[in-house]
Structure 1
Amino acid sequence: MSTSSTVLGFGVLMFFAGIGIPIMAALNGGLGARLASPAAASLILFCLAATISAIVLTFTGWPQKPFAGIPPQYFTGGLFVAFYALSITWAGPRIGVGNAVMLVLLGQLAAAAAIDHFGLLGAVRSPITVQRALGIAAMVVGVFLARKV
Protein backbone atom coordinates (compact mmCIF):
# COMPACT_ATOMS: atom_id res chain seq x y z
CA MET A 1 0.00 0.00 0.00
CA SER A 2 1.44 3.38 -0.98
CA THR A 3 1.95 6.21 1.47
CA SER A 4 -0.73 8.38 -0.16
CA SER A 5 -3.30 5.57 -0.05
CA THR A 6 -2.37 4.86 3.58
CA VAL A 7 -2.88 8.53 4.47
CA LEU A 8 -6.17 8.54 2.56
CA GLY A 9 -7.29 5.37 4.36
CA PHE A 10 -6.50 6.85 7.76
CA GLY A 11 -8.18 10.09 6.70
CA VAL A 12 -11.39 8.23 5.82
CA LEU A 13 -11.20 6.24 9.07
CA MET A 14 -10.82 9.40 11.16
CA PHE A 15 -13.56 11.19 9.21
CA PHE A 16 -16.00 8.43 10.16
CA ALA A 17 -14.70 8.42 13.74
CA GLY A 18 -15.46 12.14 13.77
CA ILE A 19 -18.99 11.45 12.54
CA GLY A 20 -19.40 9.02 15.41
CA ILE A 21 -18.49 11.51 18.14
CA PRO A 22 -21.63 13.69 17.96
CA ILE A 23 -23.78 10.61 17.31
CA MET A 24 -22.35 9.00 20.46
CA ALA A 25 -22.87 12.25 22.37
CA ALA A 26 -26.52 12.46 21.30
CA LEU A 27 -27.26 8.79 21.98
CA ASN A 28 -25.44 8.66 25.31
CA GLY A 29 -26.89 12.01 26.38
CA GLY A 30 -30.37 10.72 25.55
CA LEU A 31 -29.72 7.50 27.46
CA GLY A 32 -28.40 9.47 30.44
CA ALA A 33 -31.47 11.72 30.40
CA ARG A 34 -33.86 8.75 30.16
CA LEU A 35 -32.06 6.97 32.99
CA ALA A 36 -31.69 10.25 34.90
CA SER A 37 -28.06 9.23 35.35
CA PRO A 38 -25.21 10.31 33.05
CA ALA A 39 -22.91 8.04 35.07
CA ALA A 40 -25.06 4.96 34.37
CA ALA A 41 -25.20 5.83 30.68
CA SER A 42 -21.41 6.18 30.62
CA LEU A 43 -20.98 2.85 32.39
CA ILE A 44 -23.17 1.16 29.76
CA LEU A 45 -21.11 2.84 27.02
CA PHE A 46 -17.84 1.60 28.53
CA CYS A 47 -19.13 -1.93 29.12
CA LEU A 48 -20.15 -2.15 25.48
CA ALA A 49 -16.83 -0.64 24.36
CA ALA A 50 -14.87 -3.06 26.57
CA THR A 51 -16.83 -6.00 25.16
CA ILE A 52 -16.17 -4.92 21.57
CA SER A 53 -12.48 -4.34 22.32
CA ALA A 54 -12.24 -7.83 23.86
CA ILE A 55 -13.84 -9.34 20.75
CA VAL A 56 -11.39 -7.47 18.49
CA LEU A 57 -8.46 -8.66 20.67
CA THR A 58 -9.73 -12.23 20.39
CA PHE A 59 -9.42 -12.01 16.61
CA THR A 60 -6.27 -9.87 16.37
CA GLY A 61 -4.35 -11.37 19.29
CA TRP A 62 -3.14 -9.99 22.59
CA PRO A 63 0.00 -7.83 22.69
CA GLN A 64 3.23 -9.79 22.57
CA LYS A 65 5.14 -7.13 24.50
CA PRO A 66 5.00 -7.14 28.31
CA PHE A 67 2.99 -4.47 30.11
CA ALA A 68 5.84 -4.06 32.59
CA GLY A 69 8.27 -1.35 31.64
CA ILE A 70 5.70 0.87 29.93
CA PRO A 71 5.65 4.31 31.58
CA PRO A 72 2.50 4.70 33.72
CA GLN A 73 1.25 7.80 31.89
CA TYR A 74 0.51 5.68 28.82
CA PHE A 75 -2.16 3.84 30.81
CA THR A 76 -4.06 7.00 31.79
CA GLY A 77 -5.81 7.63 28.48
CA GLY A 78 -8.90 5.98 29.94
CA LEU A 79 -9.17 8.82 32.44
CA PHE A 80 -9.62 11.27 29.56
CA VAL A 81 -12.11 9.01 27.79
CA ALA A 82 -14.13 8.66 31.00
CA PHE A 83 -14.04 12.42 31.56
CA TYR A 84 -15.17 13.02 27.99
CA ALA A 85 -17.98 10.46 28.11
CA LEU A 86 -19.28 11.67 31.45
CA SER A 87 -19.07 15.35 30.56
CA ILE A 88 -20.62 15.05 27.08
CA THR A 89 -23.38 12.80 28.45
CA TRP A 90 -24.16 15.37 31.13
CA ALA A 91 -23.66 18.59 29.12
CA GLY A 92 -24.98 17.53 25.71
CA PRO A 93 -28.67 17.44 26.68
CA ARG A 94 -28.29 20.72 28.61
CA ILE A 95 -26.47 22.95 26.09
CA GLY A 96 -27.12 20.98 22.91
CA VAL A 97 -24.99 18.29 21.32
CA GLY A 98 -23.73 20.71 18.67
CA ASN A 99 -22.55 23.26 21.22
CA ALA A 100 -20.97 20.58 23.40
CA VAL A 101 -19.11 18.95 20.51
CA MET A 102 -17.99 22.28 19.08
CA LEU A 103 -16.52 23.26 22.45
CA VAL A 104 -14.82 19.86 22.64
CA LEU A 105 -13.41 20.57 19.17
CA LEU A 106 -11.90 23.84 20.42
CA GLY A 107 -10.21 21.97 23.25
CA GLN A 108 -8.96 19.35 20.80
CA LEU A 109 -7.49 22.01 18.52
CA ALA A 110 -5.62 23.68 21.39
CA ALA A 111 -4.34 20.42 22.87
CA ALA A 112 -3.39 18.91 19.50
CA ALA A 113 -1.46 22.04 18.51
CA ALA A 114 0.47 22.04 21.80
CA ILE A 115 1.16 18.28 21.71
CA ASP A 116 2.41 18.45 18.12
CA HIS A 117 4.40 21.66 18.59
CA PHE A 118 6.33 20.39 21.60
CA GLY A 119 6.29 16.68 20.70
CA LEU A 120 4.59 15.91 24.02
CA LEU A 121 3.71 12.40 25.18
CA GLY A 122 5.86 10.79 22.51
CA ALA A 123 4.07 12.47 19.59
CA VAL A 124 5.90 13.37 16.41
CA ARG A 125 7.07 16.97 16.73
CA SER A 126 5.42 19.30 14.23
CA PRO A 127 6.13 22.93 15.09
CA ILE A 128 3.42 25.52 14.64
CA THR A 129 4.21 27.58 11.58
CA VAL A 130 2.47 30.79 10.58
CA GLN A 131 0.47 28.83 8.00
CA ARG A 132 -0.54 26.24 10.58
CA ALA A 133 -1.46 28.90 13.15
CA LEU A 134 -3.65 30.63 10.55
CA GLY A 135 -5.31 27.31 9.74
CA ILE A 136 -6.03 26.66 13.43
CA ALA A 137 -7.33 30.20 13.84
CA ALA A 138 -9.61 29.71 10.82
CA MET A 139 -10.94 26.50 12.38
CA VAL A 140 -11.57 28.29 15.68
CA VAL A 141 -13.47 31.06 13.88
CA GLY A 142 -15.40 28.40 11.98
CA VAL A 143 -16.38 26.65 15.18
CA PHE A 144 -17.74 29.91 16.61
CA LEU A 145 -19.56 30.73 13.38
CA ALA A 146 -21.08 27.24 13.23
CA ARG A 147 -22.36 27.38 16.81
CA LYS A 148 -23.56 30.20 18.95
CA VAL A 149 -22.95 29.40 22.61
Structure 2
Amino acid sequence: MSDTLRDPVVMLLAGIGIPVFAALNAQLGARIGSPALAGMVFTLVAFATICLYRLAVAPGTGLAALGGHPAHLYFAGVLFAFYILSITTIAPRFGVGNAVFFVLLGQILSAGLIDQFGLFGAVRVPISALRGLGMAMMAGGLYLIQRG
Protein backbone atom coordinates (compact mmCIF):
# COMPACT_ATOMS: atom_id res chain seq x y z
CA MET A 1 0.00 0.00 0.00
CA SER A 2 1.43 3.40 -0.93
CA ASP A 3 2.07 6.08 1.71
CA THR A 4 -0.58 8.31 0.12
CA LEU A 5 -3.20 5.64 0.82
CA ARG A 6 -1.71 4.05 3.94
CA ASP A 7 -1.20 7.25 5.94
CA PRO A 8 -4.83 8.45 5.83
CA VAL A 9 -6.07 4.92 6.62
CA VAL A 10 -3.77 4.65 9.64
CA MET A 11 -4.86 8.09 10.88
CA LEU A 12 -8.52 7.18 10.37
CA LEU A 13 -8.00 4.05 12.46
CA ALA A 14 -6.24 6.15 15.12
CA GLY A 15 -9.23 8.49 15.14
CA ILE A 16 -11.61 5.55 15.50
CA GLY A 17 -9.52 4.32 18.40
CA ILE A 18 -9.78 7.54 20.43
CA PRO A 19 -13.46 7.21 21.43
CA VAL A 20 -13.02 3.45 21.93
CA PHE A 21 -10.05 4.15 24.21
CA ALA A 22 -12.05 6.81 26.04
CA ALA A 23 -14.98 4.46 26.64
CA LEU A 24 -12.81 1.53 27.74
CA ASN A 25 -10.55 3.53 30.04
CA ALA A 26 -13.48 5.48 31.49
CA GLN A 27 -15.20 2.19 32.33
CA LEU A 28 -12.02 0.80 33.90
CA GLY A 29 -11.64 3.95 35.99
CA ALA A 30 -15.28 3.83 37.09
CA ARG A 31 -15.12 0.12 37.95
CA ILE A 32 -11.96 0.34 40.00
CA GLY A 33 -12.95 3.70 41.49
CA SER A 34 -9.80 5.50 40.40
CA PRO A 35 -9.36 7.31 37.10
CA ALA A 36 -5.71 7.90 38.03
CA LEU A 37 -5.07 4.16 38.48
CA ALA A 38 -6.86 3.42 35.20
CA GLY A 39 -4.66 6.03 33.54
CA MET A 40 -1.57 4.37 34.99
CA VAL A 41 -2.68 0.96 33.70
CA PHE A 42 -3.40 2.44 30.26
CA THR A 43 0.00 4.12 30.20
CA LEU A 44 1.81 0.93 31.22
CA VAL A 45 0.01 -1.10 28.55
CA ALA A 46 0.73 1.63 25.98
CA PHE A 47 4.40 1.72 27.05
CA ALA A 48 4.72 -2.08 26.73
CA THR A 49 3.04 -1.97 23.31
CA ILE A 50 5.38 0.76 22.07
CA CYS A 51 8.39 -1.16 23.41
CA LEU A 52 7.29 -4.28 21.52
CA TYR A 53 6.72 -2.23 18.36
CA ARG A 54 10.15 -0.66 18.67
CA LEU A 55 11.84 -4.03 19.12
CA ALA A 56 9.93 -5.74 16.33
CA VAL A 57 9.42 -3.03 13.73
CA ALA A 58 11.62 -0.03 14.40
CA PRO A 59 14.87 -1.06 16.09
CA GLY A 60 17.90 1.16 15.82
CA THR A 61 18.24 4.40 17.72
CA GLY A 62 19.56 3.91 21.23
CA LEU A 63 18.40 5.66 24.39
CA ALA A 64 21.42 7.97 24.19
CA ALA A 65 19.57 9.81 21.41
CA LEU A 66 17.17 11.17 24.04
CA GLY A 67 19.72 13.53 25.57
CA GLY A 68 20.60 17.07 24.55
CA HIS A 69 17.21 18.18 23.26
CA PRO A 70 15.25 21.19 24.52
CA ALA A 71 13.27 20.31 27.64
CA HIS A 72 10.01 21.72 26.24
CA LEU A 73 9.91 18.93 23.66
CA TYR A 74 9.22 16.44 26.44
CA PHE A 75 6.13 18.43 27.53
CA ALA A 76 4.14 16.24 25.13
CA GLY A 77 4.23 13.57 27.84
CA VAL A 78 2.50 15.96 30.26
CA LEU A 79 -0.16 16.72 27.64
CA PHE A 80 -0.64 12.98 27.05
CA ALA A 81 -1.08 12.40 30.79
CA PHE A 82 -3.54 15.31 30.99
CA TYR A 83 -5.59 13.81 28.15
CA ILE A 84 -5.62 10.35 29.72
CA LEU A 85 -6.63 11.64 33.14
CA SER A 86 -9.22 14.10 31.86
CA ILE A 87 -10.96 11.69 29.48
CA THR A 88 -10.92 8.89 32.08
CA THR A 89 -12.32 11.15 34.80
CA ILE A 90 -14.87 13.16 32.82
CA ALA A 91 -16.24 10.71 30.21
CA PRO A 92 -18.16 8.51 32.70
CA ARG A 93 -20.22 11.46 33.94
CA PHE A 94 -20.23 13.69 30.84
CA GLY A 95 -20.58 10.95 28.22
CA VAL A 96 -17.92 9.57 25.90
CA GLY A 97 -19.45 11.31 22.89
CA ASN A 98 -19.58 14.69 24.63
CA ALA A 99 -16.03 14.36 25.90
CA VAL A 100 -14.64 13.30 22.53
CA PHE A 101 -16.56 16.02 20.67
CA PHE A 102 -14.92 18.69 22.83
CA VAL A 103 -11.55 17.01 22.34
CA LEU A 104 -12.15 17.17 18.59
CA LEU A 105 -13.04 20.86 18.78
CA GLY A 106 -9.82 21.50 20.68
CA GLN A 107 -7.90 19.50 18.07
CA ILE A 108 -9.39 21.52 15.20
CA LEU A 109 -8.49 24.80 16.88
CA SER A 110 -4.97 23.86 17.97
CA ALA A 111 -4.12 22.08 14.71
CA GLY A 112 -5.18 25.16 12.77
CA LEU A 113 -2.95 27.41 14.89
CA ILE A 114 0.00 25.02 14.71
CA ASP A 115 -0.31 24.78 10.92
CA GLN A 116 -0.94 28.49 10.39
CA PHE A 117 2.16 29.58 12.28
CA GLY A 118 4.34 26.48 11.89
CA LEU A 119 4.53 26.16 15.67
CA PHE A 120 6.84 23.62 17.32
CA GLY A 121 8.72 23.05 14.08
CA ALA A 122 5.65 21.85 12.17
CA VAL A 123 5.31 22.42 8.47
CA ARG A 124 3.63 25.79 7.91
CA VAL A 125 0.26 25.37 6.17
CA PRO A 126 -1.54 28.72 6.09
CA ILE A 127 -5.26 28.73 6.73
CA SER A 128 -6.82 29.79 3.46
CA ALA A 129 -10.40 31.07 3.31
CA LEU A 130 -11.56 27.64 2.11
CA ARG A 131 -9.63 25.80 4.81
CA GLY A 132 -10.93 28.21 7.46
CA LEU A 133 -14.47 27.65 6.21
CA GLY A 134 -13.95 23.89 6.46
CA MET A 135 -12.69 24.21 10.03
CA ALA A 136 -15.66 26.42 10.92
CA MET A 137 -18.02 23.88 9.36
CA MET A 138 -16.42 21.09 11.39
CA ALA A 139 -16.80 23.14 14.57
CA GLY A 140 -20.41 23.92 13.59
CA GLY A 141 -21.05 20.24 13.01
CA LEU A 142 -19.75 19.44 16.48
CA TYR A 143 -22.06 22.12 17.90
CA LEU A 144 -25.06 20.60 16.08
CA ILE A 145 -24.16 17.14 17.35
CA GLN A 146 -24.07 18.48 20.92
CA ARG A 147 -27.46 20.16 20.58
CA GLY A 148 -29.13 17.11 19.03
Interval containing the TM-score (normalised by the shorter chain)? over 0.9
| One-letter amino acid of the structure 2 residue matched with residue 23 of structure 1 | V
Residue 98 of structure 2: aligned partner: 99
1:63-142 paired onto structure 2 within 5 Å: 63=61, 66-142=65-141
Q: Deviations over 1:42-84 (max 9, x none)?
A: 0000000011111112122142572223222222211111100
Q: Deviations over 1:85-114 (max 9, x none)?
A: 100001101110000000000000010000
- SS of 2:66's equivalent in the other structure is coil
- Distance in 2, matches of 1:145 and 1:90, equals 25
TM-score relative to the length of structure 2 = 0.93
The runs of at least 4 consecutive aligned structure 1 residues that moved more than 6 Å come to: none
Residue range with higher mean Cα deviation, 8-17 or 56-65:
56-65
- Distance in 1, matches of 2:82 and 2:51, equals 22
- Distance in 1, matches of 2:105 and 2:98, equals 11
Residue 146 of structure 2: aligned partner: 147
Question: How many residue pairs get matched?
Answer: 146
Contact preservation (8 Å) 1:99, 1:148: no
- Distance in 1, matches of 2:60 and 2:97, equals 37
TM-score relative to the length of structure 1 = 0.92
Q: Which runs of 5+ in 2 are unaligned?
A: none
Give how far 1:147 is off.
2.2
- Distance in 1, matches of 2:147 and 2:36, equals 27
Contact preservation (8 Å) 1:119, 1:126: yes
1:30 lines up with 2:39 in the alignment: no
Identity percentage over the alignment?
45
Q: Which runs of 5+ in 1 are unaligned?
A: none
What CA RMSD, in Å, does the superposition of the two structures yield over aligned residues?
1.5
Residue 41 of structure 2: aligned partner: 44
